[in-house]
Structure 1
């Protein structure tokens, strides 16, 4: 029988998507004990954020994520680990998986996925941004006593810096932009390719639902999302919510996107990884035969396209 979750330890709880996941876990009221593992630097530099969590009953455990002893001690009393670590430290999960599998308390592990399906098809194994996540999946498949769940959401339907519904700097708008203030969009591909998107708040709700449905999420990838839309449908909704005027719209073709990606990788440009992901999305790499929302009771509880655009307009104009 799949293990139930009572006590949750979160890694990366103050990060871009981690703060949304942590908030949803706390606000759910469904777990007896909630803790976060964070660095001494975060304790020193973000006291307000951590005090807010403490005020809600969250335990704050400070330590070095690369130190075996710190991680092992942090696991004590927690049956489930939820990782929200960012790309630069995904490799540290390999040690975490090994330690969690040996630990007498930990029964379930949610690695940091929350994005493109890294095993979508045969070509996925060679994509540069997928490599660390693929290693973590391989490690989890080798464990003896640890259950796991991959929460696959597709790109974030948010307008925060660099995210899909945001405004790119003018000199980088060819990588895709929805610029509310300028009423300007650059769509990737021909604008007709569907993309599966998930707001970060919905990511948090989906993680909670997966935690509460162990029978549906045990040892598998859950492919979930808020909504699916084409870039043209997205810009049409932006137009509707910004006064009804037609936006200035242009396109970056898939071929142009591939050339930009190739050049970025050749030059060691930090935009190379994000460009690869945008190319994958434009090629249809977020579309599945079916989504798994209903398996965890979330079929009709997600943000709509209209709701996501409303939020994006608010973020860009306030």
Structure 2
């Protein structure tokens, strides 16, 4: 049974980003006074970003414009909130050390959720390019623990819309689909809007304080072969599976220049080794769909329906 929590004042870094925008919308919909800390808008700001800012203004989100180097501005913002969530993208992972310093200086934050939202880095070991990235995320976790900041670490696994696009290329008329490894490894594909809602819930949940929460709903555990077969059923099409052997991914991880070597290493971890399902969730562990059984879950099957009825824009190349 989920515990009801009073409204918390929430500050989100990266709130105009790919996953951050879903957290902002979820925070507002769940009744929390919400603000975001974002870079100042300028001539180079994408139209989609400007549209998001207008949307957020219209629903009552307070936007604080500033850089991560502006320590005093961040501290002043933190003093007005209870919970901090970071949804900063991969290149800014270590910049979270600046947020940690500001949280320490502010001294009032009840919970910090750092930008994790992927695989469980404390339980897996990946190919070197991905491992180097995971080590940065571990560094952030250890810095939070050492500072004594109340935290929740989130293992959200795969962003479903993103990876459906990466794996199936539903906008592509081709009848070929690439399969990594033998296609049997199980992954966890969670809908981005659900990740946003779960994250706001765990950030406010006393049970999740100083704990890791994994998002692993049973209906969203799926292999590449199962995903392709489901897509074939829905579209009435038949796809030729083109296999990329494990050794080819390993070789690419060794020969491609950075950061191009990171995505292939991630594909190897998720869809060849099955790292997301490589450890058990025992009774004492926190799993979001068990914690909030009342929440209506979006299944992988329903995500594919979205692509049929209201196709999202194609995913970007980088998914770290």
TM-score interval, smaller chain: 0.7 to 0.9
Contact 1:178–1:184 (Cα < 8 Å) also in 2:
no
Q: Does 1:129 align with 2:136?
A: no
Residue 142 of structure 1, aligned match among 106, 126, 146: 146
TM-score relative to the length of structure 1: 0.85
Residue 151 of structure 1, aligned match among 151, 154, 173: 154
Listed one character per residue, the Cα deviations across residues 167-221 of structure 1 (whole Å, up to 9, x for unaligned) are 5xxxxxxxx5444532331111111111112121111011122123222x11121
1:308 corresponds in structure 2 to: 303
**Secondary structure of the residue that 1:119 maps to in structure 2?**
coil
1:204 corresponds in structure 2 to: 196
Contact 1:65–1:92 (Cα < 8 Å) also in 2:
yes
**Cα distance between partner residues in 2 of 1:270 and 1:66:** 24
Q: Does 1:285 align with 2:275?
A: yes
2:164 corresponds in structure 1 to: 165
**Cα distance between partner residues in 2 of 1:317 and 1:64:** 29
Contact 1:206–1:298 (Cα < 8 Å) also in 2:
no
Evaluate the alpha carbon distance shift between residue 133 and residue 199 of structure 1 in structure 2; reply closer, same or farther with a 3 A threshold. Answer: same
1:15 corresponds in structure 2 to: 17
1:172 corresponds in structure 2 to: none
Contact 2:178–2:241 (Cα < 8 Å) also in 1:
yes
Q: Does 1:27 align with 2:22?
A: no
Evaluate the alpha carbon distance shift between residue 298 and residue 188 of structure 1 in structure 2; reply closer, same or farther with a 3 A threshold. Answer: farther
Relative to structure 2, which stretch is displaced further, 227-236 or 59-68?
Answer: 59-68
Contact 2:153–2:213 (Cα < 8 Å) also in 1:
yes
Once the two structures are TM-superposed, the CA of residue 143 in structure 1 deviates from its matched residue by 1.6
Listed one character per residue, the Cα deviations across residues 56-78 of structure 1 (whole Å, up to 9, x for unaligned) are 11111111112211211121210
1:171 corresponds in structure 2 to: none
Matches within 5 A, 1:259-278: 259-264=251-256, 268-278=257-267
Evaluate the alpha carbon distance shift between residue 285 and residue 272 of structure 1 in structure 2; reply closer, same or farther with a 3 A threshold. Answer: same
Contact 2:186–2:223 (Cα < 8 Å) also in 1:
yes
Evaluate the alpha carbon distance shift between residue 213 and residue 43 of structure 1 in structure 2; reply closer, same or farther with a 3 A threshold. Answer: farther
1:80 corresponds in structure 2 to: 83
TM-score relative to the length of structure 2: 0.84
Evaluate the alpha carbon distance shift between residue 66 and residue 117 of structure 1 in structure 2; reply closer, same or farther with a 3 A threshold. Answer: same
Relative to structure 2, which stretch is displaced further, 220-229 or 43-52?
Answer: 43-52
Number of positions where the alignment pairs a residue of Structure 1 with one of Structure 2? 296
